Structures are given as C-alpha cells and as structure tokens.
Amino acid sequence: MIRPYAWGSRYGIATLQGRPVPAEDPEAELWMGAHPSAPSGARGSTLDTVIAAAPERELGPDCLARFGPRLPFLLKVLSADRALSIQVHPSRAQAAAGFRAENERGLAPDDPARNYVDDWPKPELLCALTPFEVLAGMRTPADAAGILRALAVDELQPPAAGLERGTSDPGSVLESVLRRPEDGRKELVSQVVDACERLASVDGRYAGTCTAALRVALDHPGDLGVVALLLMRHTVLEPGEAVFMPAGGLHAYLRGTGIELLANSDNVVRAGLTGKHIDVPELLRLVDPSVAVPVLSPRVRPGGIACFDTPAAEFGLCLLELSGPALALPGAGPRILLCLDGAALLRTQAGGQLELTRGDSCFVPFADGLVHATGHARLIQATPAPAPPHRLPGVVS
C-alpha cells in the first residue's frame, strides 16, 4: 500500500514499479507487511488476517514464541522529496508504558494527539537506493558548539559557551531551542536562516548542513525545527549504505529513495517540521543525545549475499544479487522479498514457485521452508533477526 504523505516524491516509487513518472500525487512510502493500519494483500485477503488464521504455519514456532502472533517487521520503500519530521522512537518499555497511559486517558486509537498507536518499539534501518540525505543522531558537544559559533547568532552564543565549558550538552541545548516561548521564535529562525545563507555560500565544514536547513526553511517557514536540525549530524548516504536508528535516536530524513526496515510499529514522537501532532516534552523525555548513528555497510557473504548487522531482534535485511545459478536464500522463518531489478524465479521446499520482476514483492511463510532463487535480479529480503544462541548458565563466550 502506498502512503501519499505530502513530503513524498512523485518519482521514486513510481519508477521502481514501472509506472509513468511523475506520478499524479506525492508517493511517500510503499508498505509491505502486516501492520493493522495498512496490511498488504495476501491470498485474497490481507496479510494480518492470513497470519492470524494460522500463526505457527505463517511465522514458525521460533518467531511465534519470540514475538507472539504478529509479523515482527515492516518493510517499506521510502521516497522523500521534502524533509520528514524531526522525530524519535521509543524502546519496548517506553512504548508499552506510553500506550497504556494513552489508553487510560481515553484517547481513541485513531486520535491524532496519540504518540503511541501500539505497544511496540520502532528501531529502524534505512538503506539508500539513491543518494539519501539524512540527519541522524546528535552532534558531539564540541561539534555542536562549533556550528553555533559559526552561525554567529547572538542568542546562540551562550549555549555554545556552555557546550565548550562542559556545563551543558547538546540535549539541553535542544531543549532550550524547542521550549523557546512563542514570542520571538520567528525572529530566531529568521536570524538562523540568514546565517545559514552565509555559511552555505562558503565551502566549509557546515555548508552541507546549512544548505539543507535553507531547503527545510522554505517548506516550514518559522519552524523551530530549522534551528534544532543544526544540532544533528548531517550525512548523505550513498546507494548501498545504511543508518540504524535505535530507541532514543533523534533523526529526520531529508530527501532520497531507500529501503526502510523497522519493527512492526508506527510509534513516532515528533518535535517539528510537520503538520502532525508534536509533543516536545515527550520527545525530550525519550531522546538520548549519546546514541551513535554510524553509517553502515553490509557484511558480504558468499554467493551474492550481503546482510546488515544491527542489534534489532525484530528484523534483518539482506541484499541479494542473482547471477543465474540457484541461490539458497539465507535465514529461516517468514520473509518478505522485494525485486529491485531484473527477474527472479523463487522455488520453495514445499514445491511452490513464483516469479518476481522489478517492483514486485511477496510474503513467504515459514511453512514453505528453504527458498531457492534463480535468474538475474537484485532482491531485498526482510526476515526476523536470528535468535541469539542459547547459553547454559555460567558459560561465557
């Protein structure tokens, strides 16, 4: 299912699916999975319904024991032409507590004031298909002080001095920005935009971040998020590179097309650059300025398989390059496969077969067993991450 959010591109998803471009309307996300708000079609029904009818067959006993009768991951193609909101995701404990509290307050499931639409965490991996510009994680104190000094906006110099002295940190500076009283917000944003115009014209350390801030300011005039984003680390992912966002990691995706694989949740707490619900106090409670968000490259395995290693239990992502001979797909359990290029023939241990061409995707249940793929194609495979090996008490490895 395609989500037509206003920040979406009219090119990325349509191009992948072989439809005319530009598309008539923005197309932000293509969802493949069993989230109840937008489940994929499957076998004449929807995938969440199919799984609910026979969870052990569809998910397998290990996945069922670890996550219950719910597909633990959601696969997306994300294509952004404008900035997404500045946001953070909760841990499992935070999500459970937040969901329970909002239920106790009597918020309806579809209430736009909700932060927590379910009780799951939402770690996520974003893998670039095109150059993808992101703000991911917060700057170190020294780096945050550096950009505030470079901006030379009077109001931002005391926070810069606090960072240099060690009496404040990027999280406290973020809080002071986002909690700024309504009076004077537009003036601060205007001064920062003027400073960014100056820095963007110089090929210096902060030119890329300031150029991004100028684009965002055009889409969100007067939004304090334009100031807040300068405290975040700016990166352009090359195709095949990825970032992993754990709980507490502040981020905003700016533009590009990529694969997003996440836990099967839609819990988002936002602080700016959006017309959706913003909850600054809750975001500040969840954000962890120390969360590191390194750029990841996949671990290459024999046979045209490359997989990303993350700490997320709910998902694992592999990139598969088919060159003709049969390839046994890695992992076990339920899978979602997406064809990025070419054509692939899938054959399952249970005797089924299916052809995928560019833009096609499918769900393969646990009961189908080992899957072989032949052809010339690039595939994305999403599965649950393998369970950690069982260790006997007292045994250390």
- The catalytic residues are 270
Find the helix or strand (DSSP H, E) in which 340 lies: strand 335-348
What's phi and psi for 323, nearest 5 deg?
Answer: -125, 20
Mode of pairing for the β-strands spanning 242-245 and 124-128: antiparallel
Determine the residue type at 139: R
Residue 357: HSE in the Cβ half-sphere, 13 Å Cα cutoff:
2
In whole angstroms, what separates CA 52 from the centre of its chain?
26
Instruction: Return all residues near 65 (Cβ < 8 A) that are at least 6 apart.
Output: none
Helices 170-178 and 157-165, packing angle to 10 deg: 160
CB burial of residue 393 (10 Å; 0-12, 13-18, 19+):
exposed
Instruction: Please name which of 12, 56, 24 lies closest in space to residue 333, comparing C-alpha atoms.
Output: 56
- Rounded distance between C-alpha atoms, residue 286 and residue 290, angstroms: 12
Alpha helices in 206-319 (DSSP H): 207-219, 225-228, 280-286
C-alpha to C-alpha distance for 138 and 158, rounded to whole angstroms: 19
Q: Where are the beta strands (DSSP E) in 161-247?
A: 232-237, 242-245
Instruction: Residue 366: name the closest of 343, 386, 349, 380 by CA.
Output: 349
Compute the distance between CA of residue 170 and CA of residue 176 in angstroms, rounded to an integer.
10
Q: How far apart are CA 76 and CA 32, in angstroms?
A: 6
Please state, in angstroms and rounded to a whole number, the distance separating the CA atoms of residues 80 and 6: 9
The two tokens of residue 392 are 């006997």
